[in-house]
């Protein structure tokens, strides 16, 4: 088990969200879009220029910038 | 509609839900063609209002912008709450609400669902995308969902027309019963905070001018910012604010309030879903995953993107050309036809040069707008717009924009009008305003004639580094002038006026869908109509104003002077020549000579297009001339009458030329004498440092409604008439030889460059400003854009001229 942030999670890997931080408006948006503690998230791919990334959460695809993903604390089980 | 409550056969309902849920197609299916755009003052989003019929009742449907949450940090996000509570002037208060939920991502869709249900309005859930959900192994127990939420749930498929009648009859039943308020298990401190704040707000109620609701108290407590907060601060003052933050701190209990809210909502949703939803894990990838593997692939994805963008640009830039030419041509013909039936004078000029030309000037933008929106509508419907934004976000974020800004910016190189209208695809308000402000900096196709005229006249034809054409290089550089000005502008805007703490770019990548022809057609109809109705009137008004400035006072003295000249010239010719009219006397000998001559002119025009160099052209012309002379001689040899007619024809032609010259001089003098010409003289001292004289100054002023007008204005002021275009050799020569009062050359390379830079940066387009006003719903933005770009253009032209002049240009 290891912890880190979502922006560092390799493509194809899944993790469970521990906490979501960031500036108030950003934190609120992340939470609203379903990135909240206890939820599983998978990194699907990154854009050709390396940023943003696409994640699967709550059964849908969400694109977010790495700088935004850095506010999402995760733990990987494998 | 205000008596909606009293009569049982009329109702108002709001349509709400996430984006990409099929909300718009439900709206279209319910209302058909009976819809219009609702005007919400002070916001950049818009809603549609339509009418649906059910049995004997009429239902007014308000289609609110799709959103993921009711949180309101900007006026745009506040619209949903205000509309739901009936607080927008001119928009009726809803009696109920249809909540559209996408079955394939029900959890996230229910987030705003729970927020809406807390308002306690009679509600019906319209469950969409059940087939997509099933293909992913998700089954939703509709009865269970309805029981859990406490509201009826109807499965619909709007494009196929399924479930609509059921939805309408369910809605009809529901509207006659009071709604049930959804109560979630918030933490005690949080709930206490909401209640305390609610009581405080009720005390403020009188000053606020409306009765606050509990859901609003919750929003204010959690959001702690935004338009509602500002309002409360204004009426409640410091006393309220200090109480507010005290309540907030107690309610939060050391954690963030958004976290409390999200965990409560998603916690409840998660629990419900265990009973409502069953998910079978399916092996293999979904269709969307497979397509995305290609369309967002590092190589293939980029390739497809470049091809698609190239196609969009090419079609706006050149493929809409024939349509635009057709509009231009038909309005020119209409003007001529109407003009032919009216007698000369101010009224004729107003109708032909003011109104007809003005209407043509509005419609000319339609092809580009429709072409861009054809692509946007198809790509948005398909789901590709989100992928394009995903691909380009990195690049655009460097300039403080986001991936959604790319297509509008690209379109700006063809025309700023569709570009500004295209910014609707950007959800974030500040990013959208920045993109709107920057779009006119992209060098649009109307600037090209200006570049072509001056580059051809003043930039020498030579090669740089042995293979790059200097003329092409200068043209290329002109396109970059706007981009270079736009970059610092973007950064200043985003860091300054439009500063927002963070504009997150969280973007749902929806599953791919087949575009619906009807929806695409609807979008085109809406966009085209809204442009004509809302921007068209302003553009037309400006065209008429500038026509008047260039026409009046139109003194009789000038006319008398040229009428006298005309009479003097004509006195030397016989009546038969004076009265020859090629159209009426089509069978006469003179007309036959004219036909031969016209054929020659046509051959010359063709040769000018086709000839590779000057020598070839000259040879072609002399060959054609010889052919003409031979044909004329042959005709003359037939009879004595024919021989005499030849010399009459030569006289008539000489007379026509003199007449034309006099008319051009007359036009030039009227223009110089007009208010516009006088304005040119007035601003001469200001434009002298740019290397201009009053004539260029006047042409620049005349070009404020539409920059391409400069070419025709220069044609008129240099006594060539108003029909010159940028390819005209004559205009080029005249411009090259024009002199200042002291006899020195008016146009030098430095002056030409200064004019081009001015035109590259200046907001000379009434249509752009009108569309900006329409899209931002405020005059603030077009005025700011106009002032900023004009000042920037002046400085740019000043620096260009002074530097180029010093270097000897």
DSSP 8-class letter at B512 = P
Answer with the one of B174, B207, B231 that is the final residue of a domain: B174
Q: Which residues does chain A have within 8 Å of residue B506's beta carbon, measured at their own beta carbons?
A: 29-30, 33, 62-64, 68
Number of CB atoms found within 10 A of residue B483's CB? 17
Question: Considering the domain boundaries, does residue B728 fall inside one?
Answer: no
Q: Please tell me which of the candidates B73, B136, B509 has its beta carbon nearest to residue A25.
A: B73
Q: What is the chain B residue with the closest CA to A61?
A: B509
Q: How far is CA B151 from the centre of its chain?
A: 42
Return the top range by mean pLDDT from B212-216, B268-272, B343-347, B747-751.
B268-272
**Residue A16 Cα, gap to closest chain B Cα (Å):** 15
CA angle (B460 as vertex; B454, B465 as ends), nearest 5: 125
Element (H, E) at A64: strand A60-64
- Does position B793 have pLDDT exceeding 90, yes or no? yes
Q: What is residue B2's predicted lDDT score, i.e. its pLDDT?
A: 44
Answer with the one of B636, B663, B690 that is the final residue of a domain: B663
The pLDDT tens digits for B76-99 are 788 888 899 888 888 889 999 999
Q: What is residue B578's predicted lDDT score, i.e. its pLDDT?
A: 67
Assigned token pair, B102 = 């996408």
Q: Please tell me which of the candidates A30, A49, A58 has its beta carbon nearest to residue B105.
A: A58
Q: What is residue B576's predicted lDDT score, i.e. its pLDDT?
A: 66
Say if residue B163 is in the same domain as residue B194: no
Q: Which residues does chain A have within 8 Å of residue B259's beta carbon, measured at their own beta carbons?
A: 20, 27, 31, 36
Say if residue B205 is in the same domain as residue B131: no
Say if residue B110 is in the same domain as residue B242: no
Question: Considering the domain boundaries, does residue B129 fall inside one?
Answer: yes
Contact status of B500 with chain A (Cβ, < 8 Å): yes
Domain limits for position B605? 556-663
Closest CA to B597 of B638, B649, B636, B641: B649
CA angle (B109 as vertex; B104, B113 as ends), nearest 5: 140
Q: Which residues does chain A have within 8 Å of residue B262's beta carbon, measured at their own beta carbons?
A: 28, 31-32, 36
Closest CA to B441 of B763, B150, B163: B763
**Residue B201 Cα, gap to closest chain A Cα (Å):** 23
The pLDDT tens digits for B550-590 are 888 888 888 888 888 887 777 777 666 667 776 677 677 77
Q: How many Å apart are CA B722 and CA B353, to the nearest integer?
A: 11
Question: Considering the domain boundaries, does residue B44 fall inside one?
Answer: yes
Please give the backbone phi and psi of residue B532, each rounded to the nearest 5 degrees, phi first.
Answer: -65, -45
Closest CA to B241 of B260, B262, B220: B220
Say if residue B111 is in the same domain as residue B196: no
Assigned token pair, B593 = 């000579």
Say if residue B25 is in the same domain as residue B142: yes
- Does position B290 have pLDDT exceeding 80, yes or no? yes
Cβ within 8 Å, pair A68-B386: no
Q: What is the chain B residue with the closest CA to A25?
A: B502
Indicate the pLDDT class of residue B3, thresholds 50, 70 and 90. Answer: very low
Q: What is residue B5's predicted lDDT score, i.e. its pLDDT?
A: 46
Say if residue B218 is in the same domain as residue B69: no
DSSP assignment of B327-391 equals HHHHHHHHHHHHHHHS-SSHHHHIIIIIIIHHHHHHHTTHHHHHHHHHHHHHHHHHTHHHHHHHH
Q: What is residue B431's predicted lDDT score, i.e. its pLDDT?
A: 86
Q: Please tell me which of the candidates B68, B105, B393 has its beta carbon nearest to residue A59.
A: B105
Q: How many Å apart are CA B567 and CA B572, to the nearest integer?
A: 9
Q: Are B199 and B244 in contact (CB under 8 A)?
A: no
- Does position B539 have pLDDT exceeding 80, yes or no? no
What percent of chain B is modeled with pLDDT above 70?
95
- Does position B442 have pLDDT exceeding 60, yes or no? yes
Q: Are B408 and B439 in contact (CB under 8 A)?
A: yes
Contact pairs from chain A to chain B, CB under 8 Å: 130
Q: What is residue B499's predicted lDDT score, i.e. its pLDDT?
A: 66
Closest CA to B711 of B691, B697, B727: B727
Q: How many Å apart are CA A68 and CA A6, to the nearest integer?
A: 9
Q: What is the ipTM of this complex?
A: 0.95
The verdict on whether omega for the bond into residue A52 sits within 30 degrees of 0, i.e. cis, is: yes
Gyration radius from chain A CA atoms: 11
Q: Which residues does chain A have within 8 Å of residue B299's beta carbon, measured at their own beta carbons?
A: 48
Q: Please tell me which of the candidates B136, B298, B506 has its beta carbon nearest to residue A64.
A: B506
Question: Considering the domain boundaries, does residue B84 fall inside one?
Answer: yes
More confident residue, B690 or B743: B690
Inter-axis angle of helices B188-208 and B257-276, nearest 10: 110
Q: What is residue B26's predicted lDDT score, i.e. its pLDDT?
A: 92
Q: What is the dihedral of CA B614, B620, B625, B628, to 10 degrees?
A: -150
Q: Among B133-142, B150-159, B638-647, which stretch is predicted with the lowest mean pLDDT?
A: B638-647
Q: Are B490 and B401 in contact (CB under 8 A)?
A: yes
**Residue B107 Cα, gap to closest chain A Cα (Å):** 7
Say if residue B22 is in the same domain as residue B169: yes
Which residue is it, tokens 């109509």?
Answer: B529
Question: Considering the domain boundaries, does residue B616 fall inside one?
Answer: yes
For chain B, the domain total comes to: 3
**Share of chain B residues as helix, strand and coil, in percent rounded to the nearest 5:** 65, 10, 25
**Residue B44 Cα, gap to closest chain A Cα (Å):** 20
Q: Please tell me which of the candidates A26, A33, A51 has its beta carbon nearest to residue B68.
A: A33
B210-234 mean pLDDT: 90
Q: Which B residues, 248 through 287, put their C-beta within 8 Å of a C-beta on chain A?
A: 256, 258-259, 261-263, 266, 279
What percent of chain B is modeled with pLDDT above 90?
25
B15-23 mean pLDDT: 91
Cβ within 8 Å, pair B108-A63: no
Q: What is the mean pLDDT of chain B?
A: 84
Q: How many Å apart are CA B165 and CA B184, to the nearest integer?
A: 32
Q: How many Å apart are CA B263 and CA B185, to the nearest integer?
A: 10
Indicate the pLDDT class of residue B720, thresholds 50, 70 and 90. Answer: low
Indicate the pLDDT class of residue B42, thresholds 50, 70 and 90. Answer: low
**Residue A58 Cα, gap to closest chain B Cα (Å):** 7
Q: What is the chain A residue with the closest CA to B255?
A: A21
Q: Please tell me which of the candidates B136, B262, B394 has its beta carbon nearest to residue A32.
A: B262
Q: Which residues does chain A have within 8 Å of residue B427's beta carbon, measured at their own beta carbons?
A: none
Say if residue B573 is in the same domain as residue B654: yes
3.30.450.40, 2.30.30.90, 1.10.10.60, 3.40.50.150: which CATH number matches A2-76?
A: 2.30.30.90
Q: What is residue B8's predicted lDDT score, i.e. its pLDDT?
A: 53
A50-60 mean pLDDT: 93
- Does position B260 have pLDDT exceeding 80, yes or no? yes
Q: Which residues does chain B have within 8 Å of residue A33's beta carbon, measured at their own beta carbons?
A: 68, 108, 506, 508
Number of CB atoms found within 10 A of residue B367's CB? 23
Q: What is residue A71's predicted lDDT score, i.e. its pLDDT?
A: 95
Assigned token pair, B256 = 């963030």
Q: What is residue B288's predicted lDDT score, i.e. its pLDDT?
A: 83
Own/partner pairs, B624-632, CB within 8 angstroms, 24+ separation: B624/B600, B625/B600, B627/B600, B627/B603, B628/B596, B628/B597, B628/B599, B628/B600, B631/B596, B632/B593, B632/B596, B632/B597
Closest CA to B201 of B215, B184, B191: B215
Say if residue B17 is in the same domain as residue B145: yes
Say if residue B264 is in the same domain as residue B128: no
For residue B43, give every residue at least 6 positions away whose Cβ sits within 8 Å of its Cβ, in sequence order, or none: B75, B76, B78, B79, B777
Q: What is the CATH number of the domain that holds B110?
A: 3.40.50.300
Cβ within 8 Å, pair B509-A26: no
Q: State whether the Cα torsion B234-B235-B238-B244 is positive or negative.
A: negative
Q: What is residue B103's predicted lDDT score, i.e. its pLDDT?
A: 95
Own/partner pairs, B164-172, CB within 8 angstroms, 24+ separation: B164/B29, B164/B30, B167/B98, B167/B124, B167/B126, B168/B30, B168/B52, B168/B54, B168/B59, B169/B54, B170/B124, B171/B11, B171/B13, B171/B54, B171/B59, B171/B96, B171/B98, B171/B124, B172/B11, B172/B54, B172/B55, B172/B57
Question: Considering the domain boundaries, does residue B132 fall inside one?
Answer: yes
Please give the backbone phi and psi of residue A50, each rounded to the nearest 5 degrees, phi first.
Answer: 95, -15
Assigned token pair, B404 = 């959604």
Q: How many Å apart are CA B543 and CA B552, to the nearest integer?
A: 14
Q: What is the chain A residue with the closest CA to B138?
A: A59
- Does position B156 have pLDDT exceeding 90, yes or no? yes
Assigned token pair, B757 = 């830079």
Q: Please tell me which of the candidates B296, B501, B502 has its beta carbon nearest to residue A45.
A: B296
Q: How many Å apart are CA B693 and CA B391, to the nearest integer?
A: 48
Q: Are B690 and B754 in contact (CB under 8 A)?
A: yes
Answer with the one of B244, B279, B314 that is the final residue of a domain: B279
Q: Which residues does chain B have within 8 Å of residue A64's beta carbon, measured at their own beta carbons?
A: 504-507
Indicate the pLDDT class of residue B291, thresholds 50, 70 and 90. Answer: confident
The pLDDT tens digits for B467-505 are 778 888 888 888 889 989 998 888 888 777 666 555 678
Indicate the pLDDT class of residue B4, thresholds 50, 70 and 90. Answer: very low
Interface residue of A29, A39, A41 to substitute, partner B, most B CBs within 10 Å: A29
**Residue B69 Cα, gap to closest chain A Cα (Å):** 7
Indicate the pLDDT class of residue B242, thresholds 50, 70 and 90. Answer: very high
Q: What is residue B98's predicted lDDT score, i.e. its pLDDT?
A: 96
DSSP 8-class letter at B91 = S
Q: Among B34-48, B183-197, B220-234, B668-682, which stretch is predicted with the lowest mean pLDDT?
A: B34-48
Question: Considering the domain boundaries, does residue B311 fall inside one?
Answer: no
Closest CA to B731 of B749, B717, B748, B750: B717
- Does position B1 have pLDDT exceeding 50, yes or no? no
Instruction: Please give the span between the terminal C-alpha atoms of chain A, in angstroms, as a whole number.
Output: 6
For residue B216, give every residue at least 6 positions away whose Cβ sits within 8 Å of its Cβ, in sequence order, or none: B81, B85, B201, B228
The pLDDT tens digits for B414-436 are 788 888 988 887 877 888 889 99
- Does position A78 have pLDDT exceeding 70, yes or no? no
- Report the SS3 class of residue B190: helix
Q: What is the chain B residue with the closest CA to A62?
A: B508
Q: How many Å apart are CA A23 and CA B502, to the nearest integer?
A: 8
Q: Please tell me which of the candidates A36, A47, A63 has its beta carbon nearest to residue B262.
A: A36
- Does position B6 have pLDDT exceeding 60, yes or no? no
Q: Which B residues, 58 through 97, put their C-beta within 8 Å of a C-beta on chain A?
A: 68-69, 71, 73
Q: What is residue B73's predicted lDDT score, i.e. its pLDDT?
A: 77
Kindly list the domain boundaries of chain A, sorted by start residue.
2-76
The pLDDT tens digits for B243-258 are 999 999 999 988 899 9
Q: How many Å apart are CA B79 and CA B72, to the nearest integer?
A: 8
Q: What is residue B726's predicted lDDT score, i.e. its pLDDT?
A: 73
């Amino acid at each position: 088990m290891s912890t880190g942030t979502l922006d560092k999670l390799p493509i194809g890997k899944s993790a469970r969200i521990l906490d979501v931080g960031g500036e108030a408006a950003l934190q609120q948006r992340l939470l609203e879009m379903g990135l909240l503690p206890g939820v599983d998230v998978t990194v699907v791919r990154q854009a050709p220029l390396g940023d943003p990334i696409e994640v699967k959460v709550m059964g849908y695809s969400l694109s977010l910038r790495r700088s935004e993903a850095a506010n999402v604390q995760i733990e990987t089980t494998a | 509609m205000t008596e909606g409550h009293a009569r049982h056969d009329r109702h108002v309902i709001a349509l709400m839900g996430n984006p990409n849920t099929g909300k718009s197609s439900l709206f279209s299916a319910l209302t058909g063609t009976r819809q219009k755009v609702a005007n919400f003052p002070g916001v950049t989003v818009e809603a549609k209002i339509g009418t649906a019929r059910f049995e004997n009742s009429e239902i007014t449907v308000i289609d609110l912008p799709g959103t993921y949450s009711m949180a309101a940090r900007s006026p745009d996000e506040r619209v949903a709450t205000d509309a739901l509570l009936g607080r927008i002037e001119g928009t009726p208060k809803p009696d109920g609400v249809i909540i559209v939920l996408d079955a394939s991502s029900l959890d996230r869709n229910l987030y705003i669902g729970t927020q809406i249900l807390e308002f306690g309005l009679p509600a019906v859930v319209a469950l969409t995308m059940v087939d997509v959900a099933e293909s992913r192994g998700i089954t939703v127990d509709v009865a269970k969902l309805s029981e859990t939420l406490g509201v009826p749930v109807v499965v619909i498929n709007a494009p196929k027309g399924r479930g609509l009648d059921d939805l309408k009859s369910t809605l009809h039943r529901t509207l006659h019963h009071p709604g049930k308020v959804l109560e979630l298990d918030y933490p005690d401190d949080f709930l206490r905070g909401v209640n305390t704040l609610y009581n405080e707000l009720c005390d403020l109620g009188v000053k606020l001018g409306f009765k606050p609701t509990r859901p609003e108290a919750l929003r204010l407590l959690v959001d702690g910012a935004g338009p509602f907060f500002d309002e409360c601060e204004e009426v409640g003052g410091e006393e309220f604010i200090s109480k507010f933050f005290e309540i907030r701190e107690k309610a939060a209990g050391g954690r963030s309030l958004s976290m409390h809210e999200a965990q409560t909502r998603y916690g409840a949703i998660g629990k419900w879903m265990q009973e409502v939803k069953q998910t079978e894990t399916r092996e293999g990838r979904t269709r969307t995953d497979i397509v995305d593997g290609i369309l967002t692939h590092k190589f293939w994805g980029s390739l497809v993107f470049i091809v698609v963008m190239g196609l969009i640009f090419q079609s706006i830039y050149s493929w809409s050309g024939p349509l635009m030419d057709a509009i231009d041509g038909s309005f020119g013909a209409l003007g001529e036809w109407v003009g032919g039936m009216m007698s000369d004078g101010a009224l004729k000029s107003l109708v032909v040069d003011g109104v007809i030309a003005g209407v043509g000037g509005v419609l000319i933008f339609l092809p580009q707008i429709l072409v861009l929106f054809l692509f946007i509508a198809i790509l948005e419907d398909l789901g590709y717009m989100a992928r394009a934004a995903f691909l380009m976000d990195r690049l655009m974020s460097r300039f403080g924009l986001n991936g959604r800004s790319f297509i509008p910016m690209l379109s700006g190189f063809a025309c700023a009008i569709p570009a500004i209208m295209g910014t609707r695809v950007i959800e974030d308000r500040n990013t959208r305003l920045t993109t709107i402000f920057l779009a006119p900096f992209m060098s649009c196709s109307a600037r090209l004639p200006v570049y072509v005229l001056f580059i051809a006249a003043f930039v020498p034809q030579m090669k740089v580094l042995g293979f790059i054409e200097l003329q092409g290089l200068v043209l290329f550089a002109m396109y970059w002038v706007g981009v270079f000005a736009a970059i610092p502008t973007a950064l200043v805007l985003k860091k300054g006026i439009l500063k927002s703490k963070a504009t997150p770019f969280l973007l749902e990548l929806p599953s791919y869908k087949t575009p619906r022809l009807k929806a695409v057609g609807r979008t085109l109809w809406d966009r085209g109509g809204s442009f004509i109705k809302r921007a068209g009137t302003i553009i037309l008004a400006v065209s008429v104003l500038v026509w008047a400035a260039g026409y009046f006072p139109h003194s009789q003295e000038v006319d008398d002077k040229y009428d006298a000249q005309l009479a003097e010239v004509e006195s030397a010719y016989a009546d038969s020549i004076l009265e020859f009219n090629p159209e009426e006397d089509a069978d006469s000998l003179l007309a036959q000579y004219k036909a031969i001559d016209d054929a020659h002119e046509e051959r010359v025009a063709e040769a000018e297009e086709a000839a590779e160099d000057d020598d070839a052209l000259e040879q072609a012309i002399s060959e054609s001339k010889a052919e003409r002379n031979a044909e004329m001689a042959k005709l003359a040899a037939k009879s004595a009458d024919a021989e005499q007619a030849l010399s009459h024809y030569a006289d008539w032609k000489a007379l026509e030329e003199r007449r034309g010259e006099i008319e051009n001089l007359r036009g030039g003098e009227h223009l110089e004498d007009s208010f516009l010409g006088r304005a040119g003289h007035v601003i001469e001292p200001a434009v002298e440092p740019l290397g201009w004289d009053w004539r260029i100054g006047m042409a620049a002023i005349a070009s404020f409604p539409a920059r391409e007008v400069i070419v025709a204005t220069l044609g008129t002021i240099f006594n060539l008439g108003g029909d010159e275009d940028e390819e005209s050799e004559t205009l080029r020569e005249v411009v090259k030889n024009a002199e200042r009062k002291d006899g020195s050359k008016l146009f030098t390379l430095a002056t030409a460059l200064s004019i081009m830079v001015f035109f590259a940066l200046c907001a000379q387009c009434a249509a752009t400003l009108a569309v900006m006003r329409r899209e931002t719903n405020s005059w603030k933005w077009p005025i700011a854009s106009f002032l900023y770009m004009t000042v920037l253009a002046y400085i740019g032209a000043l620096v260009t001229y002074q530097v180029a002049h010093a270097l000897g240009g």
